[in-house]
Amino acid sequence: MNLPGPLAKLLPRLDLDGDRNLVREAWNLLAGLPGGKTLFSRLIGQLAPYSGTVGARIVALRPGFAQVDMDDHRGVRNHLRCVHAIALCNLAEIAGNVAVAYSLPDDARFIVAGLSIEYLKKARGTITATGECSPTLTNDRVEYTVPVTLTDAAGEVVARASLRTLVGPKRRGPRTDLN
């Protein structure tokens, strides 16, 4: 694949534990390019393959904020012909996670330690998840609560989620299967 110079330098090193914030770098590089947000969304799907199965699109990302859309399609529906509860949960996790990931300093990483969600009404059509966190995260070992609101195309809230996210310093040294 022939990639433009800055992108070619970024993509061969898809190491989230490296010495930089890959999510922030990739978004800042791609978001302004034609098709860049789509490419970034696919990159997130590659970094977190299970999350990539819902086909979410990151449409806005800045420190402490993410907006992510998911179309209503057969792959995310349940037997009642509405968006499946777990697809909504997956979308909420993506929105919360990219808001956190973008906001982290280069020497920090995170993991979700818990997630709760309240389903308020059947979800149909394009669903938008908005995740918000502190825009000034540090690499200190701290637990953050990241609220996520999911709305339908009419702007009605279909679900509310809360992610318990643990932030801490990146590990240094060689990676093994145990760390």
In a domain, 162, yes or no: yes
In a domain, 95, yes or no: yes
pLDDT tier, 8 (very low <50, low <70, confident <90, very high otherwise): low
- Which residue range forms the structural domain that includes residue 90? 5-169
Q: Residue 114, SS3? A: strand
Copy the structure tokens of residue 135: 């825009």
Q: Residue 155 contacts by C-beta under 8 Å, 6 or more apart in sequence?
A: none
pLDDT tier, 178 (very low <50, low <70, confident <90, very high otherwise): very low
Q: 82: domain CATH number?
A: 3.10.129.10
Give strand pairing partners of 163: 115, 146
Give the whole-angstrom CA distance, residue 179 versus residue 171.
8
In a domain, 177, yes or no: no
Check residue 1 and give its pLDDT. Answer: 39
In a domain, 49, yes or no: yes
Tens of pLDDT, residues 92-148: 999 999 999 999 999 999 999 999 999 999 999 999 999 999 988 889 999 999 999
Give the percent of the chain with pLDDT over 70: 85
In a domain, 156, yes or no: yes
In a domain, 179, yes or no: no
pLDDT tier, 171 (very low <50, low <70, confident <90, very high otherwise): confident
Give the whole-angstrom CA distance, residue 18 versus residue 13.
8
Mean pLDDT over 1-19 rounds to 56
Tens of pLDDT, residues 36-61: 999 999 999 998 888 889 999 999 99
Number of structural domains found in the chain: 1
**Nearest 10 degrees: Cα torsion 96, 99, 102, 104:** -70
pLDDT tier, 33 (very low <50, low <70, confident <90, very high otherwise): very high
3-state DSSP of 30-81:
HCCCCCHHHHHHHHHHHHCHHHHCCCCEEEEEECCEEEEEECCCHHHECCCC
